[in-house]
Amino acid sequence: MLAWILTAGAVLCLIYFIVILFYSGMGTAYAFIWFLFAMGLGITAWCVWRYQHYPRKMPLRLPVSLVTLCGAGLVIMLILQILIISKVPQVAESGLEYVIVLGTPVRGEMPGRTLKLRLEKAAEYAIQNPETIMVLSGGRTGADAKAEAEVMRQYLLEKGVPDEQMVLEVRSTSTVENIAYSRILIDMMRKEKDKENPSDKRVLPAYLPSMMGHKPDNSRQVGILTSNFHLYRAMQIARKQGMQEISGIASPSDRILFVHFCFRDGLAILKERLAGNL
């Protein structure tokens, strides 16, 4: 029975790999991992079947080790997928001061499928909240490539978002840098606002703000807009960088590639955890 379950898993992984290739092409990041999963499950299924039929020719420790590895990996990924999906907000908070829109690699001057979905959500939010400044975050992925933020700006202009409502961050090349550089940019804009509109700031004892329930967190009124499968990781990175009160805005993602994106982001969460970014 176990061998058949593993075989079925291998077949499903192989079918999904073929679907990704036909639907999205060879350029889909980490698509090959589904082929590796199919191979791993297939080998494990063969070892289990071999031991069940020829126990003297197959040492028990080999199928046990492979099944344990597959089971542990499945449990870890299921936990990560629950975290990714369960943390997606149902309704976006309105009236935010700034919204950081995270970019993805672009080809030429056109956004890809994932980035278009993010920009559609960004355009919807910007039009509904005209006072919100949209921080478009994304640098160049190649020497001659156009910055992601510039492509995003052009797309949003065509959707009716005013140019003065957008600010570009063009240095970042990863989610960690997206948030770090955008935060610096937001801090600079806030300082400029304070200079232009000085308020009556009285010097209070250090203990009074906390007694009055005030949290001195400069992430207040800031949101992160990204794909639903990516939001959990982005929010955790932001909190690691000190943005404790940040809000999340989730855009939809491609339905066919959703499982792949969720699994890929689960692996990215493990990598960021090991790197100390979460």
Which residue do the tokens 């982005």 mark?
A: 234
206 is a domain residue: no
Q: Is 215 exposed, middle or buried (0-12, 13-18, 19+ CB in 10 A)?
A: exposed
Residue 173 to residue 176: CA distance in whole angstroms: 8
Q: Positive or negative, the Cα torsion across 156, 158, 159, 162?
A: positive
Query: One digit per residue, pLDDT tens: the chain, 278 residues?
Result: 888 999 999 999 999 999 999 998 887 888 999 999 999 999 999 999 988 888 888 888 898 999 999 999 889 989 989 988 887 877 788 889 999 999 998 877 888 899 999 999 999 999 999 999 999 999 987 766 788 999 999 999 999 999 999 999 999 989 999 999 999 999 999 888 887 776 544 444 444 444 444 444 445 589 999 999 999 999 999 999 988 888 999 999 999 999 999 999 999 999 888 888 88
Same domain, 137 and 10: no
Q: Is 58 exposed, middle or buried (0-12, 13-18, 19+ CB in 10 A)?
A: middle
117 is a domain residue: yes
What is the predicted pLDDT for the residue at 202? 44
Same domain, 29 and 108: no
Domain membership of residue 152 as a residue range: 98-196+217-275
Phi and psi based region of residue 138 (left: phi greater than 0; alpha: psi -120 to 50; beta: remaining): left
What is the predicted pLDDT for the residue at 54? 87
Q: Order across the sheet with 247-251: list the strands.
A: 166-169, 133-137, 98-102, 222-227, 247-251
Same domain, 153 and 24: no
Same domain, 266 and 154: yes
203 is a domain residue: no
Select from 48, 65, 86 the last residue of a domain: 86
What is the predicted pLDDT for the residue at 46? 93
Same domain, 22 and 135: no
Q: What DSSP designation does 253 have?
A: -
Same domain, 37 and 139: no
What is the predicted pLDDT for the residue at 166? 95
What is the predicted pLDDT for the residue at 199? 58
Residue among 276, 278, 262 at smallest CA distance from 86 = 262
Same domain, 79 and 156: no
Give the orientation angle of helix 228-240 with respect to helix 175-196, to 10 degrees.
Answer: 60
138, 148 contact by CB (below 8 A): yes
Same domain, 48 and 159: no
121, 252 contact by CB (below 8 A): yes
Same domain, 31 and 130: no
Select from 58, 86, 114 the last residue of a domain: 86
34-37 CB contacts, 8 Å cutoff, 24+ apart: 34/260, 37/9, 37/10, 37/13
205 is a domain residue: no
Select from 86, 117, 137 the last residue of a domain: 86
Residue 11 to residue 252: CA distance in whole angstroms: 28
The greatest distance separating any two alpha carbons of the chain, rounded to the nearest whole angstrom, comes to: 84
204 is a domain residue: no
